[in-house]
Structure 1
Amino acid sequence: MKAFERNRSFTQLIEFEIEPHQQEALVSALSAQTERLAQGYDGFLSASVQASDDGRRVLNYLQWQSREAGEAAFERFESGEQDFWQLILTHQAKTVTFGSFQVLSSIARSQDNALHCNLL
């Protein structure tokens, strides 16, 4: 792997398909879990929990400083440290889709209202 590739941030997307009556509880559980991630895992950058308007999907977006940081955190989840699989069972997820991505470009608005684009 090239040096510049190792320095790119890394994003994990986890999409849950659920029954609408489970959405609020799953959002709450993922929000609490995400707060624990922010406090306890090296390399954590940002996260969000998003809910679809139809109530049938929840998206958990996690961004890390590196692929290694994100994969290390997920390995701890799989080993039961944060009981991720129990969360899936408790909220009766029909499907769970995992995606991993390297960030190649990003755009953000600064406090002075300017747009900043980072191409890596």
Structure 2
Amino acid sequence: MQSPRNNRSFTQLMAFDIEPQWLQALVTALSEQTERLARDHKGFLSASIQASEDGRRVLNYLQWQTREAGEAAFRSFESGEQDFWRLIQAHRAKAVTFGSFQVLHNIERSLDNALHCQLVD
């Protein structure tokens, strides 16, 4: 039996293909935009910006309490003062891939070094 969708957190993943000389500028811009989204939108859980070792790929991972929270934040990202499409153009991304995911299983290490596994209902 499947669980109701609204009990699961929601993840947005954006992968950027860029030239290495644009890496730091893109990471800075994504960091600023992610901080704005986290501050201005309810339902934010976490985010991560990661770069490949060769500097040609950047991943931006945002996790939200609900799909609705994530989609509302992304709509503002698309049309806000710091327009997402201008961000892509300014940092000369060759390709951008978007993905949306529901979290089904989490494994985390706590401060006391114990592993906690959670199947999300």
TM-score by length of 1: 0.94
Name structure 2 gaps, 5 residues minimum.
none
For 1:108, the equivalent position in structure 2 comes to 108
Instruction: Report how far residue 42 of structure 1 moved.
Output: 0.8
Structure 1 residues 58-97: aligned runs within 5 Å: 58-97=58-97
For 1:55, the equivalent position in structure 2 comes to 55
- Counting matched residue pairs gives 119
SS at match of 1:78: helix
Aligned-residue CA RMSD (Å): 1.2
Is 1:20 aligned to residue 20 of structure 2?
Answer: yes
Identity of aligned residues (%): 71
SS at match of 2:74: helix
Q: Which segment is superposed worse, 3-12 or 93-102?
A: 3-12
2:109 is matched by which residue type in structure 1? R
Instruction: Report how far residue 69 of structure 1 moved.
Output: 0.5
TM-score by length of 2: 0.93
1:15-55 CA deviation, whole Å, 9 max, x = no partner?
Answer: 00000100111011111111111111111000010011011
CA distance in 2, matches of 1:85, 1:119: 36
CA distance in 2, matches of 1:94, 1:43: 31
1:68 is matched by which residue type in structure 2? E
SS at match of 2:4: helix
For 1:9, the equivalent position in structure 2 comes to 9
1:38 is matched by which residue type in structure 2? A
CA distance in 1, matches of 2:104, 2:23: 31
Name structure 1 gaps, 5 residues minimum.
none
Post-superposition, which runs of at least 4 consecutive aligned residues in structure 1 deviate over 3 A?
A: none
